[in-house]
Chain A
Amino acid sequence: MIDLEQAEVIPDMWREVFESEDIRFCFNCGSCISVCPASNADPPLLIRRLARMVLLGLEDELLDEDTPWSCVSCSKCEEVCPMGVRPFELGLAIRRWQVRNDETRIPPSLVELYKEGYTQPVSRALETRAAVGLGELPTIDKDPELLKAYQKMLMATDVVSNNDYMFKG
């Protein structure tokens, strides 16, 4: 339970979190939660509660929330939201805001994506592929110049350039 008497409230915080003004139309009906698989997790992902936290500007509490990360990305909440709030996008926006304010939230997989381009060993699965009659794929590592160009592009993004020590070397 959040004690609103004690909590520090930042009235305009929602603008930093979510670029869509539609979030203000959320009237907490709970349609999003009723269709959300992750609302069954422990702790539950309760997206309308997160929307409330964003609108109230509960910065410390929202920074500590792990539940936005348990979303299954099915986006059914977007289908049923009667106010066009786009709850799935809101969940991703909360993750991004947390990442911007707390580098320990940066997904470690970003380094893998920067170095190799994939979340699985696509270019090294030669035996598995040969066993089912398939050859090598034209993965990005086969073209070192292209991999360099991809990394240069990523270095021009905020999350990579602001945390470049993670990606170099």
Chain B
Amino acid sequence: MSKYGLFLGCNTPALRPDVEHGIRYSMEKLGVDLVDLPGYVCCPAFGTFPSSDEYAQLAVNAWNLSLAEEQGVNLAVQCGSCYSSLRMGSHIMEEAPKREKVNEILAKGGKHYQGKARPHHMLDILYNEVGVDRIQGKLQRRLDGLRAIVQFPCHTLYPSDVVGFEPDKGPPHVLTDLLEALGASVEHYSLEHQCCGGAGGFHKADSGAAHGFLKSKLDAIAAETEADLIVVSCITCLMWMDNQQKTLSEGNGHSYSLPVFDLNQLLALCLGAPPEHVAAISTVPRERITDRFK
């Protein structure tokens, strides 16, 4: 059984703990042991220390990485920006002189980062370590008959040489393959690779453009596919694409209500988890999907 330190970040455990439960449940069923990282802190998010002081950013990255290192494990991360922040930080700290300078700061907090612990995204672990075959062998229920579209987590794609884990060059397909392994059919549409619009700095700077991204995606999904649901693997994509459909529907004359799930939530449901634990919190009602698991 492989073992990872579960790095939850801030949004998931505070606002969408059902996603956390989905992760804990599904990974355990698949033989991946997740341990908590006592004393972990915000990754740090790109709008915080990375935007104000590079060594403060790296020190906070190293704080979190050192907690995993103390337990002799790598980190498992679902949130796209947590993953990217930690992954880019650990990449920068591969350079020994940088890491030494960071360790001088880290030492004030009584910690040390050797450069061993590395973050892995949940999709990476599921696809490259657990594997599609093992997942299929464990399923108790399937998503047969459901049509889905996917939102690829951008932070796991670029720059590919630092954060990437797709098995080949060309369009990403890890999320698609994992979802198809659960029995869903994945439909494609013209704006599949467009940004969801959910990044904090972006929607603060121009809320209209950020909502426009989501609206144009939802309109394209409706026009070009028969999708029953949207599947993501990033908490920002999940919260933005779910919560903002209500905003887009207000005063619009058109009601948007396409259910949004994190992949691990669907995986947990297919592995036998009760919906009230792993798919309980949403703005768009999801009963038409979750009822089949009751």
Q: Which residues of A contact B (CB under 8 A)?
A: 37-38, 40-42, 66-67, 69-76, 78-79, 88, 92-93, 95-96, 99, 105-107, 109-110, 113, 117-122, 124-125, 128-129, 131-134, 137-140, 142-143, 146-147, 149-150, 152-160
Residues of A within 8 A of B204 (CB): 69-70
Given contacts A41-B206, A69-B201, A110-B49, contact A120 B110 (CB under 8 A): no
Task: Of the listed stretches B135-143, B246-254, B272-280, B283-291, name the one at the interface; the rest are far from the partner chain.
Answer: B272-280
Query: Residues of B with Cβ closer than 8 Å to A?
Result: 8, 10-11, 13-15, 17-18, 20-21, 24, 36-42, 44-56, 59-60, 63, 81, 84, 104-106, 108-111, 154-155, 157-160, 163, 194-195, 197, 199, 201-202, 204-206, 208-209, 212-213, 276-278, 280-281
Contact A129 B158 (CB under 8 A): no
Q: How far is the CA of A42 from the CA of B211 in the complex (A)?
A: 13
Q: What are some 25 contacts across the A-B interface (CB < 8 A)?
A: A40-B212, A40-B213, A42-B208, A66-B205, A70-B202, A70-B205, A72-B199, A73-B84, A73-B199, A75-B155, A79-B160, A92-B51, A107-B52, A110-B48, A110-B52, A119-B11, A122-B13, A125-B14, A132-B277, A137-B8, A146-B38, A150-B41, A152-B108, A153-B108, A158-B53
Q: For A137, what are the chain B residues with a Cβ–Cβ distance below 8 Å?
A: 8, 13, 36
Which residues from chain A contact B277 at a C-beta distance below 8 Å? 132-133
Docked CA distance A126–B278 (Å): 16
Residue contact A37 to B195, C-beta cutoff 8 Å: yes
Contact of B45 among A96, A119, A154 (CB under 8 A): A119
Pairwise interchain contact A134-B158, C-beta atoms closer than 8 A: no
CB-CB under 8 A from B42, the residues of chain A are 113, 117-119
Q: Are A138's CB and B206's CB within 8 A?
A: no
Asked if A99 contacts B51 (CB within 8 A), the reply is yes
Please give, as numbers and ranges, the residues of chain A lying within 8 Å of B14 by CB-CB distance: 118, 120-122, 124-125, 128
- Which residues of A are found within 8 Å of B208, using beta-carbon distances? 42
Q: Is the CB–CB distance between A96 and B155 below 8 Å?
A: no
Interface majority SS (helix, strand, loop, mixed), chain A: helix
For A119, give the chain B residue with the smallest CB separation: B10
B205 touches A138 (CB 8 A): no
Which among A75, A109, A159 is the interface contact of B56 at CB below 8 angstroms? A159
Chain B residue at smallest Cβ distance from A118: B10
Query: What total of A-B pairs shows CB separation below 8 Å?
Result: 204
- The contact of B154 among A72, A109, A134, A158, by CB within 8 Å, is A72
- Nearest to B212 among chain A residues (CB) is A40
| Supplied contacts A122-B13, A128-B17, 10 more A-B pairs, CB within 8 Å | A40-B213, A74-B195, A74-B199, A79-B159, A132-B276, A153-B63, A156-B59, A156-B108, A157-B59, A158-B56
Question: In the assembled complex, how far is the CB of residue B266 from the closest CB belonging to chain A, in whole angstroms?
Answer: 16
Closest to B47 in A: A107
CB distance from A145 to the nearest CB of B (A): 9
Q: Are B13 and A37 in contact (CB under 8 A)?
A: no
A99 and B201 contacting across the interface, CB-CB below 8 Å: no
B55 and A158 within 8 A (CB): yes
In the assembled complex, which residues on chain A have CB atoms less than 8 Å from the CB atom of B8? 122, 137
Q: Is the CB of A37 within 8 A of B18?
A: no
CA gap between A129 and B21 in the complex, in Å: 9
B81's partner among A69, A73, A131, A138 (CB-CB below 8 A) is: A73
- Measured CB to CB, the closest approach of chain B to A160, in angstroms, equals 7
B185 to chain A, nearest CB (A): 27
Please give the distance in Å from A152's CB to the nearest CB on chain B. 5
A76 is contacted by which of B17, B38, B158 (Cβ under 8 Å)? B158
Given contacts A41-B209, A71-B202, A153-B63, contact A160 B13 (CB under 8 A): no
Q: Knowing A107-B47, A150-B41 touch, does A99 contact B52 (C-beta < 8 A)?
A: yes
In the complex, chain B residues whose CB is within 8 Å of the CB of A133 = 21, 276-277
Contact B52 A154 (CB under 8 A): no
User: Whose C-beta in chain A lies nearest to the C-beta of B38?
Assistant: A138
